[in-house]
Each structure stands twice: as C-alpha cells, then as structure tokens.
Amino acid sequence: MKILVTGASGLLGLNLGLRMHERYSIVGQDRGKLASTPFELVRADLLDPSACSRLIDSVRPDAVIHTAALANLESCENDPATSRLLNAEVPSLLAESCTKHDIQLIHISTDAVFDGTKEGIYTEEDTPNPAGVYAATKLQGEENVLSIYPQAAVARVNFFGWSLSGTRSLSEFFFNTLGAGKTCNGFDDVYFCPMFVGDLADTLIGMLEKSLSGTYHVVGSRAITKYEFGQEIAKVFGFDAGLINPISVSDSGLTAKRSNNLRLSIHKLSTALGREIPDFSTGLTQFYTQYKQGYPQKMRSYQQE
Ligand SMILES: NC(=O)c1ccc[n+]([C@@H]2O[C@H](COP(=O)([O-])OP(=O)(O)OC[C@H]3O[C@@H](n4cnc5c(N)ncnc54)[C@H](OP(=O)(O)O)[C@@H]3O)[C@@H](O)[C@H]2O)c1
C-alpha cells in the first residue's frame, strides 16, 4: 500500500513515516525541513490552492493520512485566517481529490473539539462545542471532509513522543524542563487521554487496513491529568517529580482557551479494530526506550541543514 503522509516534518508525520516505511511505501509531504529520510519526500505548501490536487495527481497513493495543520493553539488565535485555511479549507481540497480518485483518507482532528463541560466521558455521539480558534477550525475541517467524502475517516487524537525540534510535545516539555533540574507547572484540573505516537501510528494503519470511515476517538485508553502525566515522565526518567507545581489551568496565563475535560471513549475504535487500545503507560516505556536508543538524535539527523 502506498501511503501519502502530509505534514511529514511534524510530530505525528515524522514518527509515522519512520515507523511505517519498512512495511509500506510511504511518501511524506513537507515544506523543505527534511532531508535524507528513509522514506520518499515530496515538497509542497498546502496553502497553494492547487497543491492538494497536484500532490494527489503526482503521488497517486492508495491512502492519505492528513496530519498537516496549524496545530499551535496560540498561533491559531493570532492568525485565524491561516488557521481556517489550513485546518478547514485544505482538508476540503484534499477530500475532493481523494473522493475523485477513490483514495482512502484519514483526516487527523483533535480531542479539543469538545469544550470539556460534560461530566464524564465523551463519545463520538456527543456534540462538539469548540472553545477557541484552533478547535473551531479543526471541527470545520472534520465537517468539510465528511460532507465531501463520507467514506473518509476522521481521527480525533491526542498523542506524545519525540519531535524534530525536540520541543513540540508535552512529553518533551516535561523531559526538557525536569532534565535540566528546573521547576515547571502542571495542570491538575485538565484531564486528557494521551497516546504514544508509535501506538497512534499503528492504530491509524489498523484503521486503513479495516477501511474504517466516519469519526473515531483515537486516544489512549486511560485518562490522566497533565500534572500526573508530568509525574509519570519524571518517574520513568528518574527526574525529581517535586519540581512540578500542581496548578489550575485558569491560573496559567495562556491566552487560547483550553478544555479541562478531554476524557474520550475509545469503545467505538476498540470494537471496530477488534482489539484493546493501549494506554499512556506502555507508551511511556516505549518513549523511554527510544531515548535510550538515540531516537531523538536520529530524528534530528533528518533535518535539512
Ligand atoms: N500534538 C498533539 O497532541 C495533537 C493533539 C490533538 C490533535 N493534533 C492534530 O494532529 C495533527 C498533527 O499534529 P502535530 O503535533 O504532528 O503537528 P506539528 O508537529 O505542528 O506539525 C504540523 C505539520 O503541518 C505542516 N504544515 C504547516 N503548514 C503547512 C503548509 N502550509 N503546507 C504544508 N504543510 C504545512 C508542518 O510543516 P512545517 O514543519 O514545514 O511547518 C508540519 O509538518 C494535526 O492535525 C493536529 O491538529 C495534535
């Protein structure tokens, strides 16, 4: 199977490409940040209105995993126009090209489409109510994709792992800060269901192999607060967990609104795939093993000079 991965330089895209290139023919779209990856690269700026159709016409993949996005919440608040173009309009263009050529599409969305006010766990049946520009434009992207191409799958994700910059993920934030012996804050009132990016890559491939369509929550099977997640990182790496101050997200000073309950049910996904969905704990072990094996340095070796 030939899989086009958009956003190949991103946290998800690069991990996906590196994990899957030996089993699948991976073509990664990037904007020139990458070089010498063990999978093929094709350069494109998806803000160019003809880029999606040209990309699909030239690569002719069997499947597309669309990870590219403006995924930084603060950047989206500061530049809502680009956020709308990249997170809502580009998915439409990609869906149009995929439906025209009958190409499987997984569109990556976010757990943040929910405002967090529900008591309990969100299922795919719950009505989203996005809290900020990022979440609103991502929700619009989901709706655009499924109205143009109902056979597509939308994966609402939340994940952690090593990135090209070394600073993209929450796991790297805690690793970098605690590893330097510095104090930091951890939100003790924000629940989420993080999934290790390697497990996410495996799960997305499983979704392609089963030809799933419609909306799925693709997150870890266990909820945890961001503060507790930091403590788990400290434990795995042998750092001082006391360096993390538990605080409320409302005291954080962050400008973009964040939901404080992102507990998502994975029942629909687990049933469709016919298997258990891993939680963050086994993923943290893999995250640590990758560190010991020099994976973060290997990743950076693919950065264009
Ligand atoms: N990280 C999380 O925990 C999380 C949580 C929920 C949902 N998500 C979703 O998961 C997906 C992947 O997130 P991520 O964390 O991997 O994001 P990321 O690390 O910020 O990567 C974003 C990717 O999009 C690319 N991109 C940005 N503008 C582009 C453009 N104009 N044309 C082509 N490519 C462009 C970036 O390329 P450059 O490197 O060239 O900028 C990069 O490869 C996104 O859809 C995001 O909304 C992520």
Residue extents of the structural domains in the chain: 2-166+193-221+265-285
- Ligand 1 contact via 11 beta carbon (within 6 Å): yes
pLDDT at position 117 is: 93
Q: Model confidence over 120-147: pLDDT tens digits?
A: 999 999 999 999 999 999 999 999 999 9
CA 138, CA 71: separation in Å to the nearest integer? 9
What's the rounded mean pLDDT across residues 100-122? 96
Check residue 97 and give its pLDDT. Answer: 98
What does the pLDDT read at residue 21? 97
Any ligand 1 atom below 6 A from CB of 283: no
- Kindly give the residue spans of alpha helices, DSSP state H, lying in 85-196: 90-101, 133-148, 170-179
Tell me the per-residue pLDDT of 57-77, one tens digit each, with 9 for 90 and over. 999 999 999 999 999 999 999
- Indicate which residue's Cα is closest to atom 1 of ligand 1: 159
Q: How much is the average pLDDT of 147-175?
A: 97
Residue 139 to residue 150: CA distance in whole angstroms: 15
CB-ligand 1 contact for 34 (6 Å cutoff): no
Which is more confidently placed, 294 or 258? 294
Q: Which residues contact 236 (CB under 8 A, 6 or more apart)?
A: 284, 285, 287, 288
> What class has domain 2-166+193-221+265-285?
alpha beta
Q: What is the pLDDT of residue 254?
A: 72
CA of 67 to the centre of ligand 1 (A): 6
Residue nearest to atom 24 of ligand 1 (CA): 68
Angle at which helix 90-101 crosses helix 51-59, to 10 degrees, equals 30
Task: Retrieve residue 178's tokens.
Answer: 């605690």
- The partner residues of 130 in beta bridges, in order of sequence, read none
Using CA atoms, how far residue 185 sits from 10, 73, 116, 174, 287, in Å, is 25, 18, 21, 9, 21
Q: How confident is the model at residue 259 (pLDDT cuts 50, 70, 90)?
A: confident
- pTM metric for this prediction: 0.97
Average pLDDT over the chain, rounded to whole?
Answer: 96
Atom of ligand 1 nearest to the CA of 134: 47
Residue 255: the pLDDT is: 67
